[in-house]
Chain A
Amino acid sequence: MTWGRMPSCAPVANRRWPGESGTRPKLATCATMLFSLASAFGQQSSLAPGGTHASQIKSLGVFFFWLLGIIFLIVIAIAVASIFQRGQSTQDEAAQRRLKTAIAGASVLTILILFGLVVVSVGVGKEISAPGGRGNELVVEVTGNQWWWFVRYLNDDPTRIVVTANELHIPVGRPVLIRGLSNDVIHSFWVPGLQGKRDLIPSRVTTQWIETNEPGRYRGQCAEFCGLQHAHMALWTVAEPESQFQQWIGTQLRPGAAPSDDLQQRGQEVFLSHACVLCHSIQGTTANGQVGPDLTHFGSRLSIAAGTLPNNKGNLAGWIADPQNIKPGTRMATVPLDPTDMQPLLEYLESLQ
């Protein structure tokens, strides 16, 4: 089956994410490699906070680091000094008393510092988990699945409920309440640039508030081991200004784009006549599968396979032809396709903006 092999190589060649520094010099020096590594880290790092909660967590971490680092250095200095003062006698009474005072003092100080750290840490914990709503909050339901994220924007008006997958769009400067659910095992929702972790537990609802003040992309990742492809269960959080966000919601409310040429028309036929429709849905067509990600606006997504690969035709071809090669154990079925059906299918799926 050579047709299956060919596109499956493509993902390896194209792992660059949109937003990563686009111009990579041909003579890649160590320095530039390190630089690009740092930028990749920046998209998923609690050291690069993009919101109030994350900066509080970062400040706490930095405070702990410096305080405990300095104490560590002092302890090491005393230990080293004691080695060089071995000659001194500790037998006389005055020296004994000094020693006892020093040990007692150090113990009390340790207890006080640890207690102080508990108070600070609990204080920050309370602050980041406090309800952040000011009456204008956005409520988003995030459901963990093996191994992808189902995202639903709740609304009192059922016709304005938006459904997407592996991507969370949030408006800048507005608190967002994440209602966490799980369909199978325990997952953990974690966007390090915005908040701490929150477990998603089957048949329970856990909540988390996030708020960002900087537009940008923050990568999130499942933080609780959930099976074979736990490592490939990521999502992109896209923070954008309110107007842009409303525009995005408006687009998402529309049904899937109708095929605009013969190739896309054929692609839609392929989609609707194969196993795709048993799991995926495309609003505006008969595809109404409920167990896989909704594909109504698939072409506008950043990634495929839950953040595993950037979304483009080459990667999509590899993913459809042989999903088990890219994500062994994934529940995406290996669907037999005629070689001539692949290109129309890609054209159709990528046209779903």
Chain B
Amino acid sequence: MRFAAIGCFLLALTACERERRDLRPSPAKVVVFGDAAIQSQILPGGGAPRASVTNPFQGNAYAISEGQRLFGWYNCTGCHANGGGAIGPPLIKDHWIYGNEPANLFDTIVKGRPNGMPSWGAKIPEYQIWQLVTYIRSMNNLEPRSATPERLDTIEQSSRTILPKSEGEPR
């Protein structure tokens, strides 16, 4: 009985990171990560070690819910609808032109992309861009299952939306 209780307590500890709320983000200026998000395998001059960029909110449920709120507030929905895509491409898919790693998504939001994606770097504080990145990844089941909420009922599956398989299913 006692061991079961201690076991439950220890299991509960694992949930701490999931809900950690960073209410006082660093006011650091936006950093555009030079070549961290390069897609091409061909590197001129032989290539140098790349800067490793990590998402500070990886697996954080609070950041995902904040990202979800900002996704509406900053009118991402205007082009991408609730992730299913509208006049802009869907954000739930397997094939990403500019990559779906956190650094790639960050770069896409900061710099913008050709054919319509505006550059948000000057307008959205860096920590909120990371929250958006975490939310977008969570829609694609790229964040830990424990932190990912159910998809919104409002997400429409268009013909271009390819829902990724959830964990456990054969890929």
Chain A contacts to B: CB under 8 angstroms: 1, 4, 273-275, 277-279, 291, 321-322, 324-325, 328-329, 331, 333-336
Checking B21, B27, B122, B126 against A273 with a beta-carbon cut-off of 8 angstroms, the contacting residue is B122
Indicate whether A334 sits within 8 Å of B127 (C-beta atoms), given known contacts A324-B23, A325-B24.
yes
| Residues of chain B with a CB closer than 8 A to A274's CB | 122-123
Report the separation of the CA atoms of residues A333 and B123 in the bound assembly, to the nearest whole angstrom: 11
Checking A275, A291, A325 against B124 with a beta-carbon cut-off of 8 angstroms, the contacting residue is A275
Is B2 interfacial (CB-CB < 8 Å)?
no
Chain B contacts to A: CB under 8 angstroms: 21, 23-25, 27-30, 69, 73-74, 122-128
| Residues of chain B with a CB closer than 8 A to A321's CB | 27
Are the C-beta atoms of B124 and A329 separated by less than 8 Å? no
| Residues of chain A with a CB closer than 8 A to B127's CB | 334
Are the C-beta atoms of B73 and A279 separated by less than 8 Å? yes
Are the C-beta atoms of B125 and A336 separated by less than 8 Å? yes
- 15 example contacts (A-B, Cβ-Cβ < 8 A) are as follows A275-B123, A278-B73, A278-B123, A322-B24, A322-B27, A324-B25, A325-B24, A328-B24, A329-B21, A329-B23, A331-B69, A334-B125, A336-B27, A336-B29, A336-B30
A244 to chain B, nearest CB (A): 36
A227 to chain B, nearest CB (A): 12
Report the separation of the CA atoms of residues A325 and B69 in the bound assembly, to the nearest whole angstrom: 21
Checking A273, A325, A333 against B128 with a beta-carbon cut-off of 8 angstroms, the contacting residue is A333
Indicate whether A336 sits within 8 Å of B23 (C-beta atoms), given known contacts A278-B73, A291-B73.
no
| Residues of chain B with a CB closer than 8 A to A322's CB | 24, 27
Checking B25, B30, B73, B123 against A277 with a beta-carbon cut-off of 8 angstroms, the contacting residue is B123
| Residues of chain A with a CB closer than 8 A to B123's CB | 274-275, 277-278
Are the C-beta atoms of B73 and A334 separated by less than 8 Å? no
Indicate whether A334 sits within 8 Å of B24 (C-beta atoms), given known contacts A275-B124, A291-B73.
yes
| Residues of chain A with a CB closer than 8 A to B27's CB | 1, 4, 321-322, 334-336
| Residues of chain B with a CB closer than 8 A to A328's CB | 23-24
DSSP majority for the A interface?
A: loop
Closest partner residue, chain B, to A228 (CB atom): B23
Report the separation of the CA atoms of residues A51 and B4 in the bound assembly, to the nearest whole angstrom: 61
DSSP majority for the B interface?
A: loop
Indicate whether A324 sits within 8 Å of B24 (C-beta atoms), given known contacts A275-B125, A336-B125.
yes
Are the C-beta atoms of A334 and B124 separated by less than 8 Å? no
| Residues of chain B with a CB closer than 8 A to A331's CB | 69
Report the separation of the CA atoms of residues A133 and B122 in the bound assembly, to the nearest whole angstrom: 50
Report the separation of the CA atoms of residues A335 and B23 in the bound assembly, to the nearest whole angstrom: 13
Report the separation of the CA atoms of residues A335 and B74 in the bound assembly, to the nearest whole angstrom: 15
| Residues of chain A with a CB closer than 8 A to B28's CB | 336
Checking B21, B25, B69, B74 against A334 with a beta-carbon cut-off of 8 angstroms, the contacting residue is B25
B22 to chain A, nearest CB (A): 9
Report the separation of the CA atoms of residues A325 and B25 in the bound assembly, to the nearest whole angstrom: 11
Known: A328-B24, A335-B125, A336-B28. 20 other contacts (CB 8 A): A4-B27, A274-B123, A275-B123, A275-B128, A277-B123, A278-B73, A291-B73, A322-B27, A328-B23, A329-B21, A329-B23, A334-B24, A334-B27, A334-B127, A335-B27, A336-B27, A336-B29, A336-B30, A336-B125, A336-B126
B159 to chain A, nearest CB (A): 31
B163 to chain A, nearest CB (A): 29
- Closest 3 interchain pairs by CB? A324-B24, A336-B27, A291-B73
Indicate whether A278 sits within 8 Å of B124 (C-beta atoms), given known contacts A4-B27, A324-B23, A325-B24.
yes
| Residues of chain A with a CB closer than 8 A to B124's CB | 275, 278
| Residues of chain A with a CB closer than 8 A to B29's CB | 336
Closest partner residue, chain B, to A330 (CB atom): B23
| Residues of chain A with a CB closer than 8 A to B125's CB | 275, 333-336
Closest partner residue, chain B, to A329 (CB atom): B23
| Residues of chain A with a CB closer than 8 A to B69's CB | 331
| Residues of chain B with a CB closer than 8 A to A291's CB | 73
| Residues of chain A with a CB closer than 8 A to B74's CB | 278
B69 to chain A, nearest CB (A): 8
Closest partner residue, chain A, to B21 (CB atom): A329
Report the separation of the CA atoms of residues A334 and B122 in the bound assembly, to the nearest whole angstrom: 13
Chain B CB within 10 Å — which of A4, A291, A328 has the most?
A291
Closest partner residue, chain A, to B29 (CB atom): A336
